[in-house]
Amino acid sequence: MWRRFIVKKNECGALLRDGDFERLLPAGRYRFVDPFHRLALQVWRLDAPMNDLTLVEYLQRHQPQSVAKHLLPMSVGEDQVGLRYEDDVLVEIMPPGARACHWQGVLTHRLEHIDLASDVALSPELAARLAQPVLRKRPVDGLSGVLMVPVPAYHVGVLKVDGQVRQLLPPGLAAFWRFNRDVQVELIDTRLQTLEVSGQDILSRDKVGLRLNLAATWRYSDVLLAHRQLNKPLDHLYRELQFGLRAAVGTRTLDELLDNKQLINEVVGAHVTGKLAELGIEVSGVGVKDIILPGEMKTILGQLVEAQKSAEANVIRRREETAATRSLLNTAKVMEDNPTALRLKELETLERVAERIDRISVFGGLEQVLTGLVNIPRPAEKSDARARQA
């Protein structure tokens, strides 16, 4: 009995006898004598990978000429990464130790090996190809093995490989192999930044509980030095600001702090500058935003300020009254020695009185008004009056 098999032009077949591989069948029509139905045909597409790697290994040992004619085995070493191209288009990133096999004839396959021990970073050209995978018509498999890091402007990236700081990354796109290592990139802002230290409850030297809010302006003066010396530079800066604030408040009384609030800024600034000068962190300004007193202390201070201001107001009032009395005494002395000044004062008084009167009836003429209505004894008249009394 004859068996007929057809292998299409975009396929490759394998003749199986009793389920066991016998030989490869390229595209074509085949007829076999098979009276007991022992033959079968297995077909693979030429544009798809050959996933039966066990069969490929068997062919490499026993039929190497068939492998050289129909198949292209690919393998990647333990310290390598493979870039697989189809018709010079990158389609796959093969991890270390990976194996694959592809059919020859339909597509042109090429495998490029990259040594992981030589460099952890991808070349700029390769990184640019992988930067926007969704915009490619055909995606690249295996992108999970690549760490893509866009570093924004005014930032730098701290590259850490297996927990060790390697280098600084300038603004731009950077890409690194993640195979066989732990790769991390921390983005650092190199501009001036503000750090808030809020809600610090501290006792002053005279045992008054205060709550303070502090703000500091800082920047990295040496990013690599800061990350080489400190595990978390920002946390270290926060703690040093806390210590400086406690040193400034805990050694001074409440009156000293309220009289000179700038003193806290100076003490805290000097403390952190001395501690962080050799750690790559520069503190350009420190300022206390709020000093919050307990409720009962607010009441006591309010009463104290009210008493002080009341006393100051009384002193000012007495001073003004004394000055006014002294001015009146000086005026009286001038009028006593100068009749003309006295007469002018009389006319001024008459004018003020006339302003408050709607109607004036004059009897005896204007002279009576000027001499009778307002009459302040003159110095000569005073002497005559004293003589008559005597």
Q: Strand, coil or helix: what is 214?
A: strand
Please tell me the distance from the alpha carbon of residue 278 to that of residue 344, in angstroms, as a whole number.
82
Q: Bigger pLDDT: 352 or 42?
A: 42
Our separate counts of H helices and E strands in the chain read 11, 18
Dihedral sign for Cα atoms in the order 212, 218, 222, 228: positive
Digit-coded pLDDT (tens) for 143-172:
999 999 999 999 999 998 988 888 899 999
The kind and range of the H/E element at 303 are helix 295-337
DSSP per-residue letters across 47-58: TSB---HHHHHH
**Mean pLDDT over each residue of the chain, to the nearest integer:** 83
- ∠ CA 227-231-233, nearest 5°, is 65
Predicted confidence band at 378 (pLDDT cuts at 50, 70, 90)?
A: low
Please tell me the distance from the alpha carbon of residue 145 to that of residue 204, in angstroms, as a whole number.
57
Q: Which of 185, 122, 195, 119 is nearest to 155 (CA)?
A: 185
Most confident of 224-228, 234-238, 369-373: 234-238
Q: Which of 265, 271, 263, 256 is nearest to 287 (CA)?
A: 265
pTM listed for this prediction: 0.63
Predicted confidence band at 387 (pLDDT cuts at 50, 70, 90)?
A: low
DSSP 8-state class, residue 174? E
Please check the confidence at residue 375 and state whether its pLDDT lies above 60.
Answer: no
pLDDT at 232: 87
Strand order in the sheet with 80-86: 89-94, 80-86, 109-115
Please check the confidence at residue 331 and state whether its pLDDT lies above 80.
Answer: no
Q: Residue 7 in contact with residue 13, Cβ under 8 Å?
A: yes
Digit-coded pLDDT (tens) for 84-136:
999 989 999 999 999 999 998 888 899 999 999 888 899 989 998 888 877 78
Q: Residue 268 corresponds to which tokens in the numbers above?
A: 């805290």
Q: Strand, coil or helix: what is 140?
A: coil
Q: Residue 265 in contact with residue 254, Cβ under 8 Å?
A: no
Mean pLDDT to the nearest integer, 333-346: 72
Please tell me the distance from the alpha carbon of residue 349 to that of residue 357, in angstroms, as a whole number.
13
Mean pLDDT to the nearest integer, 292-315: 70
DSSP per-residue letters across 309-351: HHHHHHHHHHHHHHHHHHHHHHHHHHHHH-HHHHHHHHHHHHH
Please check the confidence at residue 259 and state whether its pLDDT lies above 70.
Answer: yes
Please tell me the distance from the alpha carbon of residue 143 to that of residue 151, in angstroms, as a whole number.
19
- Region 193-293: CATH code: 3.30.479.30
Least confident of 45-49, 230-234, 307-311: 307-311
User: Measured between alpha carbons, how far is residue 270 from residues 68, 134, 172, 235, 263 in Å?
Assistant: 76, 53, 37, 19, 11
Please tell me the distance from the alpha carbon of residue 195 to that of residue 272, in angstroms, as a whole number.
13
Residue entry with tokens 């029509």? 29
Please check the confidence at residue 367 and state whether its pLDDT lies above 70.
Answer: no
Q: Bigger pLDDT: 296 or 114?
A: 114
Digit-coded pLDDT (tens) for 267-282:
888 889 888 878 889 9
Residue 105, Cβ neighbours under 10 Å: how many?
A: 15
Span(s) in the chain for CATH 3.30.479.30: 193-293
User: Measured between alpha carbons, how far is residue 116 from residues 78, 130, 175, 299 in Å?
Assistant: 9, 18, 13, 71
Angle, in degrees to the nearest 10, between helices 339-355 and 295-337: 120
Angle, in degrees to the nearest 10, between helices 262-276 and 233-250: 140
pLDDT at 92: 93
